[in-house]
């Protein structure tokens, strides 16, 4: 039956429809609020903070090309199936989402959406009298020991307490109720607040043209604009188990149903109160053009109404547009090579900018090139040789008194640094016997001198972190102390747990397992290599042998996703707050899951904490839950060797202006950068050529 339900999700295209829900669970959420375009963006970040000519009053010019270094090249740009920070950075400039988390204020504001309305849900008892405008659906219950299908009846709107009744008033376009209705409280099973979102799309949001299809194929659908069917399809892919999106699926499983109200209106129903609901539909939902990706869409050149779920998934997973991306942004990807990805200003047939928000956020450059160099030393040389304009991985030796401080450098470049929520870590594979024992993981943390390494490698700028919550977040427990540097105590801890050298080869062992750990890191990453060498030395006296293994990025990621590793050195680049489920919940820690929970954490207490965070919409209360969660992860689980929140140290061409720091990854917005020197090739005073 579940397979039939999934098929129905993909079965009809370009017509209004409502999908079956996959579960509704009770909880309370925020009161309904209407949102619309309006207000000025906060602009408190300092522009050109580190540029020597800051404040010279020179006007931005349009045009020219900027080259920005990237340390890895993802497989593609289809973010549902490519969980890469670099992919996300490409999309920031070439694509749009329904909402935008403002770079400076961090508030959610309309983007491809014009407005949205939040409403509450009243779930009726099965035997309740009929209520005007009630909706019903067969749903699959998850949890609470229930399985199979059952009928759910509900009414949604703005809910107020009217004594013996609940008063439900319609707020959104196309509401199922025409006016206020009274529902006796005795007929109500439960109330869920803030679980229905009706999104109104902007008119005239144009899809970029396909650079894959022939002119004849493209003529089949002509100019295309974002509509509710595109949004519906973009959500529906997560209901197809054959789509390679397990790292993202968890967020969208929480959406119980999606309804196309009309051509520019779509409605989402959540199964329960979810603190990250707006983030999920607003910024995490990657908008996909149905006419390109959906085989059910009659306008798709590859249209196949009878395509199986497997065939539909293959069409998405292997679609050539995943690289030559069809987006909604001011820049369109026009070239993808092994050395770089290039995006050019999106223009229409008349040669004028075709981006829907060209009056506000058009971008200054005509071309952005992301140059892939996986070796930091080579990337620094590329900056010095004028082959890249911006490099954000300057080594400490170069930054503090090295090449980035020389006279020749400062004649053409400048340097700066900024903090984000990113943190480095060494992840342990808890399925491996060498590191399954928490005593081993804690002993390694106690044997490493974090403070000395912080001073010698980062000139004291890095912050040692004690868990998974970003350091800048209110949910980070600042009063929490890290494990002490105590090599002797670490040795005692190992011996007490039964790890000591039994055969005289210098390596501790237990139950026939020797403490030999393979430490994987991406090739060309000098910071990871240096840390690995320091860790080798720190644990040698504990009888722990660490072997360093450098792997090319794609191979490195595949080993991690397949859990074919002992230890891996990486960094997470999270927003200030995001759903912790993908990293830590047991449902994503099983061996067969290629998820972000690559350490294989399976802890019922963590699961309960996550579910509490997800359901809590009061910010202050949720931050307290985050602090408790953070402490437990660090003190009781230690799935990672939590390392440092390291500032990004960058070098940039003096020609590039407009750089300012944001706490949101990647910490800058390329479309806000510009040249001021008219001698730069291709620059001009106006947007249009």
DSSP-derived secondary structure for 231-264:
HHHHHHGGG-TTSS-HHHHHHHHTEEEEEEEETT
Q: What is the mean pLDDT of residues 563-577?
A: 91
Same CATH topology for 45-69+328-419+648-689 and 423-645: the answer is no
Which residues, listed in sequence order, are joined to residue 551 by a DSSP beta bridge?
522
Q: At what angle do helices 309-317 and 2-11 cross, to 10 degrees?
A: 60
> What's this model's pTM, rounded to 2 decimal places?
0.80
Task: Give dist(CA 642, CA 445) in Å, integer.
Answer: 8
- pLDDT greater than 80 at residue 561: yes
* Fold classified for 45-69+328-419+648-689: D-Maltodextrin-Binding Protein; domain 2 (3.40.190)
Residue-level pLDDT at 20: 30
Evaluate if residue 70 carries a pLDDT over 60: yes
pLDDT surpassing 80 at residue 196: yes
Tell me how many degrees the CA angle 203-133-258 measures, rounded to the nearest 5. Answer: 45
Q: Is the pLDDT of residue 576 over 90?
A: no
CB 164 within 8 A of CB 171: no
Least confident of 304-308, 321-325, 380-384, 420-424: 420-424
Q: How confident is the model at residue 138 (pLDDT cuts 50, 70, 90)?
A: low
Please report, for the chain, the start and end positions of each structural domain, with discontinuous segments joined by +.
1-42+102-321, 45-69+328-419+648-689, 423-645
Mean pLDDT of 531-548: 97
In the numeric block, the tokens 């230690």 are attached to 638
Closest among 92, 85, 167, 79 to 131, alpha carbons compared:
167
Q: Closest by alpha carbon to 515, among 476, 542, 491?
A: 542
pLDDT tens digits, one per residue of 595-640: 889 999 999 999 999 999 998 988 899 999 999 999 999 999 999 9
- Region of poorest pLDDT, from 472-476, 591-595, 672-676: 591-595
Return all residues near 167 (Cβ < 8 A) that are at least 6 apart: 159, 160, 161, 180, 181, 182, 183
| Per-residue pLDDT at 17 exceeds 60 | no
Integer Cα distance of 178 and 266 in angstroms: 18
Distance CA 134, CA 112 (A): 30
pLDDT band at 36 (very low <50, low <70, confident <90, very high): very low
Across the range 169-183, mean pLDDT stands at 95
- The single-letter DSSP state of residue 282 is I
Cα–Cα–Cα angle for 664, 666, 668, rounded to 5 degrees = 85
| C-alpha–C-alpha distance, residues 465 and 460, integer Å | 14
For residues 255-282, give the mean pLDDT: 93
Q: Which CATH number fits domain 423-645: 3.40.50.300, 1.10.10.10, 3.10.105.10, 2.40.160.20?
A: 3.10.105.10
| pLDDT tens-digit readout, 144-154 | 444 445 678 89
Q: Which of 550, 538, 526, 364 is nearest to 457 (CA)?
A: 526
What are phi and psi for residue 382, nearest 5 degrees? Answer: -65, -40
Residue-averaged pLDDT of the chain: 89
CA pair distance 665, 452, nearest whole angstrom: 28
- Which positions ≥6 away from 407 have C-beta within 8 Å? none
> What percentage of residues in the chain have a pLDDT greater than 90?
74
Query: Residue written as tokens 């005795």?
Result: 186
Taking 70 as the threshold, does the pLDDT of residue 188 lie above it? yes
Q: Give the contacts of 389 (CB within 8 A, at least 6 positions apart).
A: 66, 67, 68, 383, 652, 653, 655, 656
CATH match of 1-42+102-321 with 3.10.20.30: no
Residue 79's pLDDT band (cuts 50, 70, 90): very high
What confidence tens digit (pLDDT) does each residue in 465-516 have? 999 999 988 999 999 999 999 999 999 999 999 999 999 999 999 999 999 9
**Residue 396 pLDDT > 90:** no
pLDDT > 50? residue 24? no
14-39: average pLDDT = 31
Model confidence at 26: pLDDT above 80: no
Predicted pLDDT at 27: 24
Of 245, 255, 250, nearest to 278 by C-alpha is 255
* pLDDT at residue 83, as a whole number: 86
Separation of alpha carbons 576 and 594, rounded Å: 24
């Amino acid at each position: 039956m579940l397979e039939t339900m999934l098929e129905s999700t993909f079965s009809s295209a370009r017509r209004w429809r409502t999908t079956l829900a996959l579960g509704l669970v009770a909880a309370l959420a925020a009161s309904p609020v209407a949102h619309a375009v309006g207000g000025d963006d906060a602009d408190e970040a300092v522009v050109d903070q580190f540029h020597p000519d800051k404040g010279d009053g020179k006007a931005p010019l349009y045009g020219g090309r900027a080259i920005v270094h990237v340390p890895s090249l993802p497989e593609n740009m289809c973010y549902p199936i490519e969980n890469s920070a670099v992919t996300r950075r490409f999309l920031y400039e070439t694509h749009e989402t329904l909402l935008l988390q403002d770079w400076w204020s961090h508030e959610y504001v309309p983007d491809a959406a014009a407005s949205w309305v939040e409403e509450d849900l009243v779930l009726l008892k099965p035997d309740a009298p009929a209520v005007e405008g009630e909706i019903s659906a067969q749903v699959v219950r998850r949890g609470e020991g229930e399985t199979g299908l059952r009928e759910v009846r509900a009414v949604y709107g703005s809910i107020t307490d009217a004594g013996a009744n609940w008063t439900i008033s319609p707020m959104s376009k196309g509401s199922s109720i025409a006016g206020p209705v009274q529902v006796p409280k005795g007929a109500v099973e439960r109330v869920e607040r803030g679980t229905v979102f009706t999104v109104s799309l902007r008119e005239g949001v144009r899809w970029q043209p396909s650079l894959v299809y022939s002119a004849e194929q493209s003529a089949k659908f002509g100019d295309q604009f974002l509509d509710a069917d595109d949004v519906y399809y973009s959500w529906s892919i997560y209901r197809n188990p054959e789509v390679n999106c397990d790292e993202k699926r968890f967020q969208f499983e929480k959406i119980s149903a999606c309804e196309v109200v009309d051509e520019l209106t779509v409605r989402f129903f959540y199964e329960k109160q979810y603190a990250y609901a707006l983030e999920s539909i607003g910024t995490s939902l990657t908008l996909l053009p149905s006419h390109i990706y959906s085989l059910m869409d009659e306008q798709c050149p590859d249209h196949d109404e009878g395509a199986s779920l497997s065939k539909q998934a293959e069409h998405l997973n292997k679609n050539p547009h995943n690289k030559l991306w069809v987006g909604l942004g001011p820049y369109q990807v026009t070239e993808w090579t092994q050395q770089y990805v290039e995006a050019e200003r999106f223009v229409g047939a008349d040669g004028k900018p075709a981006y829907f928000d060209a009056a506000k956020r058009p971008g200054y450059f005509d071309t952005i090139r992301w140059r892939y160099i996986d070796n930091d030393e080579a990337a620094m040389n590329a900056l010095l040789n004028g082959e890249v304009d911006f490099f954000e991985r300057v080594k400490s030796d170069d930054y503090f008194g090295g090449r980035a401080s020389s006279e020749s450098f400062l004649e053409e470049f400048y340097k700066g640094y900024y903090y984000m929520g990113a943190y480095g870590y060494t992840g342990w594979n808890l399925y491996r016997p060498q590191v399954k024992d928490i005593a081993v993981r804690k002993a390694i943390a106690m044997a490493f001198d974090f403070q000395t390494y912080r001073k010698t490698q980062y000139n004291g700028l890095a912050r040692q972190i004690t868990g998974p919550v970003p350091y800048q977040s209110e949910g980070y427990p600042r009063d929490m102390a890290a494990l002490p540097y105590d090599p002797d105590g670490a040795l005692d801890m190992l011996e007490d747990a039964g790890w000591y050298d039994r055969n005289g080869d210098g390596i501790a062992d237990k139950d026939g397992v020797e403490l030999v750990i393979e430490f994987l890191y991406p090739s060309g990453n000098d910071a990871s290599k240096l840390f690995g060498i320091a860790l080798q030395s720190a644990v040698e006296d504990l009888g722990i042998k660490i072997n360093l293994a450098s792997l090319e990025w794609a191979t490195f990621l595949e080993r991690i996703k397949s859990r074919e590793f002992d230890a891996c050195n990486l960094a997470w680049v999270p927003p200030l707050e995001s759903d912790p489920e993908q990293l830590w919940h047991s449902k994503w820690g099983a061996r067969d899951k290629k998820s972000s929970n690559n350490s294989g954490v399976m802890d019922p207490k963590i699961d309960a904490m996550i579910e509490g965070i997800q359901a809590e919409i009061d910010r202050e209360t949720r931050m307290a839950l985050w602090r408790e969660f953070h402490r437990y992860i660090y003190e009781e689980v230690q799935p990672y060797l939590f390392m440092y929140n390291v500032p990004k140290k960058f070098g940039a061409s003096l020609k590039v202006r407009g750089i300012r720091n944001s706490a949101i990854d990647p910490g800058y917005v390329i479309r806000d950068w510009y040249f001021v020197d008219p001698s730069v090739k291709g620059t001009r005073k106006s947007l249009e050529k």
